[in-house]
A and B are shown apart, each in its own frame.
Chain A
Amino acid sequence: MLAQFRRFTLLLLSLLLLILPLSLFAGIEDHKFESAEREALYVRLTKELRCLVCQNQNLADSNADLAKDLRQKAYEMVTDGKSHAEITEYMIARYGDFVMYSPPMKKTTYLLWIGPFVFLLLAILTLFYFLRRKPSTKDDQPLSEAELEQARRLLRKD
């Protein structure tokens, strides 16, 4: 009886392990920080910086080797007392704007930032144009004699 109960508990525990999200295991290096503020900066950076190998993940979520290295680099710079601006500048100098999840506002990225709003505006204008256009008056004209005759013929068919 006891053995059965034990086996059941073991099975239950193994099943529980299965439902643990795998993402829990991504980016779990054990880092120590001097202060909560430094730690917050590190966490913020790993969320803002993109993993360049798996392009739709940030450093915090990615398990790629490069992401690990860049996390390590970010950690070292954070503990060295570097500021947010200094660290992002360092990354951008090497990997370009693409390394930031939200690219900086500048000449080459204006279209990226403003484009969607321009399209939205265009869509709204088009919508209003079609809504406000007077309905065609052609259909309101009385039927001509020929048309009436045609209608009569169609009705008579039944």
Chain B
Amino acid sequence: MNRYILPLVAFIILAGFLAAGLKLDPREIPSPLIDKPAPAFSVPTLFDETQSIGTEVLKGQVWLLNVWASWCVACRQEHPLLNELAGQNLLTIVGLNYKDERDDAKQWLGELGNPYTVIAHDLKGNVGIDFGVYGVPESFLIDKNGQIRFKQIGPFTPDDINKKLIPLVKTLQAES
């Protein structure tokens, strides 16, 4: 009897590890920027080239930086959720238009609606590199002190927004 138990136990342990492995998403690489100050940037806004927007201006409020592009398919899927979130007036939503042409981006927003308070235009993707963006969409939640507190990799789902993002935003709003 004993000689069967050992292989069985070994098999169960192995199966357990493999099952856990199936649930991991290798595309989700933890960001080293969590709980670190958001990288400083200052780039022209999408709608007005003469105006610039950056980390410094946004200090003192809780804001979401959503990285998107008109060429990004998953952004299209996420977009209605951002529109809905914007309607709740909970926080400032800043867009980072990543490696995109101005006209394409504007047309895209004209079609799908604009949830952003302000949009930074990152034509070369340099701001993206500073934030460690490797896939679009990505979102960063930044607190009043300018620290990144949460990063969403890939499009938000309704559950992500209602169960993770909104409660966290409320906590952060309450912080001084």
Q: Give residues in A with beta carbon < 8 Å to B.
A: 52-53, 55, 65-66, 69-70, 73, 92-98
A145-B54 Cα distance, complex, nearest whole Å? 96
* Cβ contacts under 8 Å, A70 to chain B: 129
Contact between A94 and B135, CB atoms less than 8 A apart:
no
The answer to whether A94 touches B130, judged by C-beta atoms less than 8 angstroms apart, is yes
**A contacts with B: majority SS:** helix
Q: How far is the CA of A106 from the CA of B26 in the complex (A)?
A: 21
How many A-B residue pairs have C-beta atoms within 8 angstroms? Tell me: 37
Docked-complex contact B32 and A53, CB < 8 angstroms: no
Contact of A94 among B26, B99, B129 (CB under 8 A): B129
- Are A95 and B125 interface neighbours, CB within 8 A? no
In the complex, whether B132 has a CB less than 8 A from a CB of chain A is yes
Is the CB–CB distance between A94 and B33 below 8 Å? yes
- Range of interface residues on B (Cβ < 8 Å): 10 to 19
Q: Mark B122-140, 1 if CB is under 8 A from A, else 0.
A: 0011001111101100000
Docked pose: A93 CA to B30 CA in angstroms: 12
Task: Judge if B19 is at the interface, Cβ distance under 8 Å.
Answer: no
Asked whether B51 is an interface residue with its Cβ less than 8 Å from the other chain, the reply is no
In the A-B complex, the 5 residue pairs with the closest CB atoms: A52-B134, A94-B132, A96-B32, A95-B132, A98-B29
Q: Which residues of B contact A53 (CB under 8 A)?
A: 134-135
Question: Which residues on B are within 8 Å of A, measured CB to CB?
Answer: 26-27, 29-33, 99, 124-125, 128-132, 134-135
Name the residue among B30, B132, B134 with the largest chain A CB count within 10 angstroms.
Answer: B134
Do A73 and B129 touch (CB < 8 A)?
yes
Q: Are B131 and A94 in contact (CB under 8 A)?
A: yes
Q: Please judge, given known A-B contacts A70-B129, A73-B129, whether A65 and B32 are in contact too, CB under 8 Å.
A: no
B132: chain A residues at CB < 8 Å are 94-96
Residues of B within 8 A of A69 (CB): 124-125, 128-129
Q: In the complex, A52→B129 CA distance in Å?
A: 12
Q: Please, which residues of chain B bring their CB within 8 A of the CB of A55?
A: 26-27
Q: Contacts A69-B129, A70-B129: A95 and B135 contacting too (C-beta < 8 A)?
A: no
B33, B125, B135 interface centre (most CB from chain A within 10 Å): B125
| B130 / chain A contacts, CB cutoff of 8 Å | 94
B32: which A residues are within 8 A, CB to CB?
Answer: 92-97
The smallest beta-carbon distance between B98 and chain A, in angstroms, is 10
Q: A53-B134, A66-B134 are in contact. Are A96 and B31 (CB under 8 A)?
A: yes
Q: Which residues of A contact B134 (CB under 8 A)?
A: 52-53, 66, 95
Residues of B within 8 A of A98 (CB): 29
Task: Collect the chain B residues with CB atoms within 8 Å of residue A92's CB.
Answer: 32
How far is B113's CA from A145's CA once the two chains are assembled, in angstroms?
94
Tell me the complex Cα distance, A95–B130, Å: 9
Kindly state the separation between the CA atoms of A92 and B125 in the bound complex, as whole angstroms. Answer: 18
Q: How many Å from the CB of A124 to the closest CB on chain B?
A: 16
Which residues of chain A have C-beta atoms less than 8 A from B128's C-beta? Answer: 69
A55, A65, A73, A95 — which one has the most chain B CB atoms within 10 A of its CB?
A: A95
**Complexed CA–CA distance, A66 and B131 (Å):** 13
Complex alpha-carbon distance, A65 and B125, angstroms:
10
